[in-house]
A and B are shown apart, each in its own frame.
Chain A
Amino acid sequence: GQNIDQPTEMTATEGAIVQINCTYQTSGFNGLFWYQQHAGEAPTFLSYNVLDGLEEKGRFSSFLSRSKGYSYLLLKELQMKDSASYLCAATDNYGQNFVFGPGTRLSVLP
């Protein structure tokens, strides 16, 4: 089985940088995903890491350490619209069985 853990809530200030951590314990692992979900909406894909290291995509970056079972999502130059839940998910060896963490609700304050 797989278990994924992430903080429940975080608060940050507009213009700041925030790091959302995710730890996972898996019996089989292919890759680590991050999704953004605004209240009342469907999740949207942010990033995918399969190899160790940092993947950068604009203001968002995601890091993976397979040996430590650890990932983080880094959001720079925070904007009010970044207030949302951020979901961490891992897949099994075949890359199809997705297990999601409980999500981290981020509030960006002015």
Chain B
Amino acid sequence: DVKVTQSSRYLVKRTGEKVFLECVQDMDHENMFWYRQDPGLGLRLIYFSYDVKMKEKGDIPEGYSVSREKKERFSLILESASTNQTSMYLCASMGAAGASAYEQYFGPGTRLTVT
């Protein structure tokens, strides 16, 4: 089974803090994604990466950055957390070919609260 893990299920941070959200997948997938999910707005793509050290902006990249130094790990960074970044953050991975191509596998999510 594909496993996507996220570093924390719940996180509380103060405004202005730097926040790191880590995501690790164990299926050697090329593609990894970071989303946030808010009531009434659905899932919105923040950034995705299709290879190590490669990244592409999604719909809402402002206020976020990402890092992909190793194939299995994709980090989301909030340089200076703000209250409007309080949300559920979901990481996903997806293969580029074969049986897992086009199937995104999601991690359990990190509920971040910024106070």
Interface magnitude class on chain A: 20 to 34
Complexed CA–CA distance, A98 and B31 (Å): 12
Q: Is A87 on the interface with B (CB-CB < 8 A)?
A: yes
A98 touches B42 (CB 8 A): no
Contact B42 A103 (CB under 8 A): yes
Interface centre among B43, B45, B108, B109 (most CB of A within 10 A): B43
* CB within 8 Å for A97 and B43 given contacts A42-B109, A45-B103: no
**Cross-chain contact of A97 among B42, B48, B90, B108 (Cβ < 8 A):** B48
A102 B41 Cβ-Cβ under 8 A: yes
CA distance A90 to B104 in the complex (A): 12
Residue A72 at the B interface, CB < 8 A? no
Contacts of A96 in B (CB 8 A): 31, 48, 50, 56
How many Å from the CB of B87 to the closest CB on chain A?
A: 14
* Residue pair A99, B102 in contact (C-beta under 8 Å): no
Contact among A45, A98, A103 with B45 in the assembled complex (CB-CB below 8 Å): A98
Give the chain B neighbours of A101 by CB distance below 8 A. 42
Interface size class of B (residues with CB under 8 A): 20 to 34
Chain B residues in 8 Å Cβ range of A103: 42
Asked if A48 contacts B45 (CB within 8 A), the reply is: no
Q: Tell me whether B105 is interfacial, beta carbon within 8 Å.
A: yes
Whether B62 is near chain A, meaning CB under 8 Å from some CB there, is no
- A11-41 at interface with B (beta carbon < 8 Å): 31, 33, 35, 41
CA distance A31 to B94 in the complex (A): 15
Task: Tell me, yes or no, whether A63 is within 8 Å of chain B by CB.
Answer: no
With A42-B90, A98-B58 known, 8 other A-B pairs at CB within 8 A are A33-B102, A35-B104, A42-B106, A45-B103, A96-B48, A96-B56, A98-B45, A98-B104
Q: Which residues of B contact A (CB under 8 A)?
A: 31, 33, 35, 40-45, 48, 50, 56, 58-59, 90, 102-109
Q: 10 pairs across A/B with beta carbons < 8 Å?
A: A33-B104, A42-B109, A48-B102, A48-B103, A97-B48, A98-B48, A100-B35, A100-B42, A100-B44, A102-B42
